Chain A
Amino acid sequence: MTRKPRLHIPLPPARPGADPDFSYIDIVAAGAIGRPDPHTRIRDLSNDLIYSMVRVLDDDGVATGPWDPQLDPEQLIFGLRHMIETRLYDNHMLRMQRQGKISFYMKSRGEEAVSVAAAMALKPSDMLFPSYRVQGLQIARGRNLVDLMCQCLSNSKDMCKGRQMPVMYHWKRGNIFGISGNLTTQYPNAVGWAMAAAIKGEDDVAAAWIGEGSSAEADFHHAMTFASVYRAPVIMNIVNNQYAISTFQGTAGGEHRPFAARGPGYGVPGIRVDGNDFLAVYAVTQWAAERARLGTGPTLIELLTYRVDAHSTSDDPSRYRPKNEPEMWPYGDPVERLKTHLIKFGQWSESQHAALIEETQKQVDAEWRQALSYGTMSEGPFLDKNELFEDVYVDMPNHLILQREQMLELDDEREGH
């Protein structure tokens, strides 16, 4: 007897060899939905925030509607420059991984607006709890690329002292939390940080990022529950880039409702934004931050975007999605869209753009040379090997002192002492 399974298995719209199919993505016009006053209580918020989408830039690069954050040209060019810097940094580090200079890398191409616009919309004292694909937060907050490169190289200037895989950056002074490879673990931490800010009566907010795939982790539920219960001043971002590693967003539960719709079940407003629209990401982050600072509470933001490149250097997306799918993403490229907008209003030109790319590339190359001068995994200067045992505890317990001696003794033998 053959069984007839009735179990629903989500299937992506297109596999390798098929034509890409984004018919499951609604096409929403720029300026289509209203901007509620940040004081608005959740029950009075329109469902359009969840089921439609906040978009500001239209297809011609014109900013329209009530969500236009009215940024001045300097701010826009600042955003453009940092998105380009992020992209060129990513490209460079991928090449270095392919050349064996670093062990691993993860690019964020196509998702630069998600991080750069959000970082700009928040105060420097607001605390960021990143996932592994929002390096633009670091770059927009002014991090020297050399510092990021040295982390990836595990060299003598590595902020993690060789203890983490590449891209697991942190920045204490820049108020960016450290990355654990264990997904979503930072989400409840962000809520706790925000609760502490509220307890202390401070004005700072926390913001956290996860992917749509990792919204399936139980820590998502913990974070949402605590954020709602204590009305924590926190911004919860779900970067819906359509893919976990190989599985599409439907496997994470995106077939039935936008991820933003998960907010109201917890009593947290949800809002969906075009993640490739720099202005929209800025505006929505600003709105959520205002709500948090007013004491109105947390906000869940779904950023609709697309992971253009592989999940990581260990991944090959041609095994599970059509090769030309990235080109077909209906909401375009964040860098191109902001550039078009700037050119449209006479604030920018193709030649300025080309010059910026060239200048940034030179900067990346120079910074890489500087980073290399602090060593690589195979060439010195190296980190002090004693560091392997530091920072497990405040003070090194005896058993670790002993183990460190054993390790060093073995080195002495090897060198024939």
Chain B
Amino acid sequence: MPRMNMVQAINSAMDIMLTRDQNVVLIGQDIGYFGGVFRCTDGLQRKHGEHRVIDAPIAEGGIVGSAIGMGVNGLRPVAEIQFADYIYPGVDQIISQLARLRYRTAGDFFAPVTIRTPCGGGIRGGQTHSQSPEGIFTHLCGVKVVMPSNPYDAKGLLIASIEDDDPIIFFEPKRIYNGPFDGDPDKPATPWSTHPKGEVPSDYYTLPIGRADIVRAGEDVTVLCYGTMVHVCQAAADYAEVDAEIIDLRTLSPLDVPAIVQSVEKTGRCVVVHEATRFSGYGAELAATVQEECFYSLEAPVIRVTGWDTPYPHAFEWDYFPTKRRVAAALEKVLEMT
């Protein structure tokens, strides 16, 4: 089977969909001739034409707004926002049009837009290239939110997202574009080629949206995570020598509640991990769900490990980032509680 990194897997997903469905178009800044600042659209304009892989002006509101219009007129647009940190001028369009269009028009209008955007830190990007704003979008009614943690999932989920008639915000954790990252910046980078999820079929396939993945079975504590943190949590469980069941949520909204409940009922403990800031973050939704659904199985409070509640700094990045040690400390703590 071919080996791909996440960039290649995402590129392959879009290439396949551009080939299969003439209604698929891509729009975004620098995505055309240049092939995207992270190379995710490399070669796609040359292959599919300037009218289907479209370079956009620097106007996120324009990119999202026009993608919605294209979607209403029968196309299936995939918009790229160059960094999730730059999505905010498009947020009015996402909230006021994209998320609610179907509801407001009783199903008469909809826009099957996928918005791809790189997110997360660990690249010395400071506060404007490191943010994890997924919680803003999981709070909306009417958009689905997806964040893969490896090339295989990225391709299958992106194809499924493009085919989905609901709008989807597809977050791509940029720190793991080229290889899994366990949160230790001092270790040499590992490529995807040595990781089982770096094996990616070259053909069409989909993975179901709304389905979590147990990346590691365990008995003592359930870890809920997604994106880059999936890898950090696995390293943390090894480091702390804890028999953790690690669940990669993959789709943040709608949430795979049965998978979570089944696991927590078994382990009786739960740690929630995300890079995004903590207060009113997505982890609060997860903790509340676990509390509501599994209260009588819980042997300890649910603990969150998150980015601190400050803007993402340039210096002290590794004090900010929820590292293996921080996750390990939480695993140890939740196991000590009775």
Contact = CB atoms under 8 A, between A and B. Distances in A.
Interface of A: 3, 5, 7, 9, 11, 15, 103-104, 154, 158, 160-166, 168, 180-183, 213-214, 216-219, 244-247, 251-253, 314-315, 319-320, 377, 382-383, 385, 388-389, 392, 399-400, 403-404, 407, 410-411, 413-414
Nearest to B279: A399
Given A162-B314, A246-B33, A247-B57, 20 more contacts: A3-B22, A158-B315, A165-B126, A166-B314, A168-B126, A182-B86, A182-B128, A183-B86, A217-B60, A217-B89, A245-B34, A245-B37, A251-B56, A383-B316, A385-B319, A388-B319, A389-B310, A392-B309, A392-B311, A413-B329
Given A244-B30, A319-B34, A388-B319, A213 B85 contact: no
Contacts of B254: none
Contacts of A315: 37
Contacts of A219: 89
B54 interface: yes
B51 A7 contact: yes
Given A165-B128, A244-B29, A213 B58 contact: yes
A5 B48 CA distance: 13
B126 A164 contact: yes
Contacts of B55: 9, 246-247, 251
Q: Which 7 interchain pairs have the tightest Cβ spacing?
A: A162-B315, A181-B128, A216-B57, A246-B34, A165-B126, A154-B315, A5-B51
Contacts of A320: 33-34
26 contacts: A5-B51, A7-B51, A9-B54, A9-B55, A15-B33, A160-B314, A162-B315, A163-B313, A164-B314, A165-B125, A181-B128, A182-B128, A214-B58, A216-B57, A244-B29, A245-B29, A247-B29, A247-B30, A247-B32, A314-B37, A383-B315, A392-B309, A392-B310, A399-B278, A403-B308, A407-B319
Contacts of B315: 154, 158, 161-163, 377, 382-383
Instruction: Please indicate which of the listed interface residues B35, B128, B279, B311 has the most CB atoms of chain A within 10 Å of its own CB.
Output: B128
Contacts, number: 136
A252 B30 CA distance: 12
B38 to A, nearest CB: 10
A410 B124 contact: no
B175 interface: no
Contacts of A389: 308, 310
A218 B128 CA distance: 18
Given A245-B37, A246-B34, A247-B29, A217 B320 contact: no
B85 A154 contact: no
Contacts of A168: 126
Interface centre among B30, B35, B125, B325 (most CB of A within 10 A): B30
A247 B58 CA distance: 10
Contacts of B29: 244-245, 247
Contacts of A244: 29-30, 57-58
Interface size class of B (residues with CB under 8 A): 35 or more
Interface string B30-61: 10111101000000000001110011111111
Given A15-B33, A388-B313, A392-B309, A164 B127 contact: yes
Contacts of B34: 245-247, 319-320
B191 interface: no
B326 interface: yes
A382 B313 CA distance: 14
Interface in B125-158: 125-129
A217 B29 CA distance: 12
A202 B126 CA distance: 36
B18 to A, nearest CB: 14
B132 to A, nearest CB: 16
A7 B278 CA distance: 45
A244 B59 CA distance: 12
A372 to B, nearest CB: 16
Contacts of B313: 162-163, 388
A173 B22 CA distance: 57
A218 to B, nearest CB: 5
A103 B310 contact: no
B35 to A, nearest CB: 8
B185 to A, nearest CB: 11
Contacts of B201: none
A415 B33 CA distance: 50
Contacts of A410: 325-326, 329
B124 to A, nearest CB: 4
B62 interface: yes
A385 B308 CA distance: 13
A257 to B, nearest CB: 15
A218 B51 contact: no
B88 interface: yes
Contacts of A385: 316, 319
B19 to A, nearest CB: 14
Interface in B298-338: 308-311, 313-316, 319-320, 325-326, 329
Contacts of A165: 124-129, 314
Contact of B30 (A7, A181, A246, A399): A246
Nearest to A3: B22
Contacts of A9: 50-51, 54-55
A400 B57 contact: no
Contacts of B127: 163-165, 181
A94 to B, nearest CB: 17
A7 B314 CA distance: 42
A158 B313 CA distance: 13
A355 to B, nearest CB: 38
Given A162-B316, A213-B57, A399 B124 contact: no
Contacts of B308: 388-389, 400, 403-404, 407
Nearest to A7: B51
A152 to B, nearest CB: 10
A157 to B, nearest CB: 12
Which of A246, A252, A411 has its CB near the most chain B CB atoms (within 10 A)?
A246
B51 A252 contact: no
A9 B56 CA distance: 10
Nearest to A218: B61
